Structure 1
C-alpha cells in the first residue's frame, strides 16, 4: 500500500494492491471473451454534466493531499540520486519483497498475508492496452490521460522487452478513468470484461473510500495460475495532474506483475511512503528482472532467486553480491 494513496488488485484471481492492497477476486475461467467496448464510456454527443457535490469535494480533498505531500518533499519526480544509492543485493531483496510476496491472501479479500512467499506473476502473451472514460470525467482530461497511458505503455514495453501496444479493438489491459459520479459503472464494467469475476469481490467498487486513489486488477489465464491474461486499472479523475500521473505509473507497472509494496524499497514507487511519484530507474530494473525469459510464471522464490541474483548483478555491473 503506497501511503494509503493508491490501491491495486492483482493475481490469478487478483491482488488488491493499495498503492497497493493485494487479494484474490476469483479464478479466471478459460474460454470467456470480454464484451466489445468503445474506447470511451461516454457518448460523444452528450454534453458533460456538472460534477456532483461529492465529486467536487473529492477534487478539493485530493488537491490538498497532493499539496501536503509536495510541501513535505514527497512525490519526487527526479527518480532518485546520491541520497538513494542501492546495490545489487538490495535490488534482489526488493524484488523478492515486491514480486515474490503478497500483501493479502489469495482468495481471502483484504485479509493480510501470512508473509509466506508467493510465485512469479507476469504476462507471457502480448499486452493490448486501451483507455476508457466515464461520462463524469472532465473532457479536458481525456486527451492528456490517453497520451500519458500511451507514453507509459511504450516505456514499459521498452524496459521489459515485452510487447505492449495501444489498441482500439480486442484489448486485454483496460485502463478506466472514472469520476465519483461514475462509481456505479465500475463493477458492471468489470463484470462485462470478466463475466466470471467473483461478485462478492466487486463490493469494494460499490463505495470506494477516498483513501483508495486507484486500483489495478490482474487475472490469470487459468484457474489458480500466475500467467496474466487480463488486467483492469481504475483511476479516479478527481486527482490533480501529478497524483493522476502517479496512479498511471504505479498501477500499470503493478499490473505487469510487481504486486506488492516494501518499506525498504528506495528509490521506488512500490513503497507506501509516497517519496516518489513516478517509476524510477530502480523500478525499471525490477521490471527488467521480472521479464527476463528465464523467469517463468509460477516459479517459487527458491527457483527464481538464483536467476534474480544473476540478473541483478548484470544490471548493476557487478560480478557478485555487493
Structure 2
C-alpha cells in the first residue's frame, strides 16, 4: 500500500518523529472501548470531490481483489517462513526507514535507523469528520477497539481507545476535511513543519493513508502519534489502513518487498495483519529490545527471540 514511512530529527529542544503511509507473551488488561459519542449535527453533504474519491477508491479495491490481492487469511502454505526469515524481515522493517528528512520535508530512500517502540500506554483517540455518518463511525470504532485489544495481547503493552489524555490520534476524514486539517494536525502533533502538514493536506491519491509517530530527541521511545485515513475508502481498504498505520505507529515503520506474508510490503498482497506480522510485534515489544538500539546490538537478540517463537533454543 502506498503510504510512506518517514523518520525525522528536529532541534534538540523539540522532538523526533516518524511518519508511515500500510501465542501471547503477556496478556494485559485493556480498558473497555468508550461508547460512541453522540453526533450533534447530521453528516455533512457529500461534495463532488469526495464522491469522485469514493468512486476512485472503490475501483482501486475492486481491481486489487480481482488480482487476488488484499488477502485476509494471514498467510498459508504458499507463504512459508522460518525463524531466520522472520528475524531478517523484522530487522528490515523495524530498523530501517523508507524516507529520510531533507530540506524541511521527506525524501524517499531507505536508510538504517534505530529501534522504536512505546514505553508509555498507547491511548488512541478517534476524530471523525462531519462527513462520516454515525453508523459508519460506530463500525469503525468497534473494529478499531477490537484490533487494539488484539495488539495489546500480542505485545503485552497497554493499547486501547481513550477519551482523554490521548497520545495516538486517528483522523478519519473526507477529501475536503483533510484539506482543511492543518490546525488540528498542528495541535495533535506539535513540531510538524508546514511541509509535513502539507504532505497530509495535499496527499496524492497514490497515498491511501499515513501516520506520524514522535519520540523525544533521538531516544526511539514514542510518546505521540497521529494517523490520517481517507473517509472515502471502501470497507476492506479502510480496515487495511487501520491495521497497517496503527501497527507502523507502534514501531514497525518500514516496508520491505521481501516481507511475506506481511502488510509491511507495498505489493498489497495482504490487507490485514498476518501471522508473521504478529510475531514481529511480539519481538518488538519483548523487554530485551530497548528503544534506540542499533542494528548490530539488536540482531543477536532478534535472532534469539525468533528462534524461541519457532520453538527453538533461546
Per the normalisation by structure 2, the TM-score is 0.89
Query: 5+ residue gaps in structure 1?
Result: 20-38
Larger deviation: 186-195 or 233-242? 186-195
Matched, 1:133 2:128: yes
- Which SS does the other structure have where 1:13 is aligned? strand
Following superposition, the deviation at residue 95 of structure 1 comes to 0.6
Q: Please tell me whether the aligned partners of residues 20 and 249 of structure 2 are also in contact (alpha carbons under 8 angstroms).
A: no
Q: Which residue of 1 is the match for residue 166 of structure 2?
A: 171
Following superposition, the deviation at residue 206 of structure 1 comes to 2.5
How many residue pairs were aligned? 294
Q: Which residue of 1 is the match for residue 16 of structure 2?
A: 13
In 2, Cα distance between the equivalents of 1:196 and 1:143? 32
The 1:216–1:280 alpha-carbon spacing in structure 2 relative to 1, beyond 3 Å, is same
Q: Which residue of 2 is the match for residue 307 of structure 1?
A: 301
State the Cα deviation string for residues 187-226 of structure 1 (Å, max 9, x = none). Answer: 2111112233222321112221111111111011x22331
State the Cα deviation string for residues 72-124 of structure 1 (Å, max 9, x = none). Answer: 100000111111010111011101110011111145533123x4421110001
Following superposition, the deviation at residue 9 of structure 1 comes to 5.0
Q: Please tell me whether the aligned partners of residues 261 and 271 of structure 1 are also in contact (alpha carbons under 8 angstroms).
A: yes
Q: Please tell me whether the aligned partners of residues 5 and 98 of structure 2 are also in contact (alpha carbons under 8 angstroms).
A: no
Query: 5+ residue gaps in structure 2?
Result: 9-14, 23-35
Matched, 1:81 2:92: no
Following superposition, the deviation at residue 59 of structure 1 comes to 0.5
Q: Please tell me whether the aligned partners of residues 4 and 98 of structure 2 are also in contact (alpha carbons under 8 angstroms).
A: no
- Which SS does the other structure have where 1:45 is aligned? coil
RMSD (Å), alpha carbons: 1.8
Q: Which residue of 1 is the match for residue 226 of structure 2?
A: 232
Q: Which residue of 2 is the match for residue 256 of structure 1?
A: 250
Greater fraction strand: 2
- 202, 208, 213: which one aligns with 2:208: 213
In 2, Cα distance between the equivalents of 1:211 and 1:140? 27
In 1, Cα distance between the equivalents of 2:224 and 2:111? 25
In 1, Cα distance between the equivalents of 2:174 and 2:111? 36
In 2, Cα distance between the equivalents of 1:51 and 1:8? 30
In 2, Cα distance between the equivalents of 1:73 and 1:93? 26
- Which SS does the other structure have where 2:205 is aligned? coil
Matched, 1:63 2:58: yes
The 1:107–1:138 alpha-carbon spacing in structure 2 relative to 1, beyond 3 Å, is farther
In 1, Cα distance between the equivalents of 2:111 and 2:68? 34
Q: Which residue of 2 is the match for residue 112 of structure 1?
A: 108
In 1, Cα distance between the equivalents of 2:245 and 2:219? 20
- Which SS does the other structure have where 2:214 is aligned? strand
In 1, Cα distance between the equivalents of 2:91 and 2:191? 31
Following superposition, the deviation at residue 181 of structure 1 comes to 2.0
In 1, Cα distance between the equivalents of 2:175 and 2:138? 20
- 174, 186, 192: which one aligns with 1:191: 186
- Which SS does the other structure have where 2:181 is aligned? helix
Matched, 1:122 2:122: no
Q: Which residue of 2 is the match for residue 276 of structure 1?
A: 270
- Which SS does the other structure have where 2:99 is aligned? coil
Q: Please tell me whether the aligned partners of residues 98 and 260 of structure 1 are also in contact (alpha carbons under 8 angstroms).
A: yes
Larger deviation: 286-295 or 197-206? 197-206
In 1, Cα distance between the equivalents of 2:191 and 2:241? 27
- Which SS does the other structure have where 1:103 is aligned? strand
Q: Which residue of 2 is the match for residue 159 of structure 1?
A: 154
Q: Which residue of 1 is the match for residue 11 of structure 2?
A: none
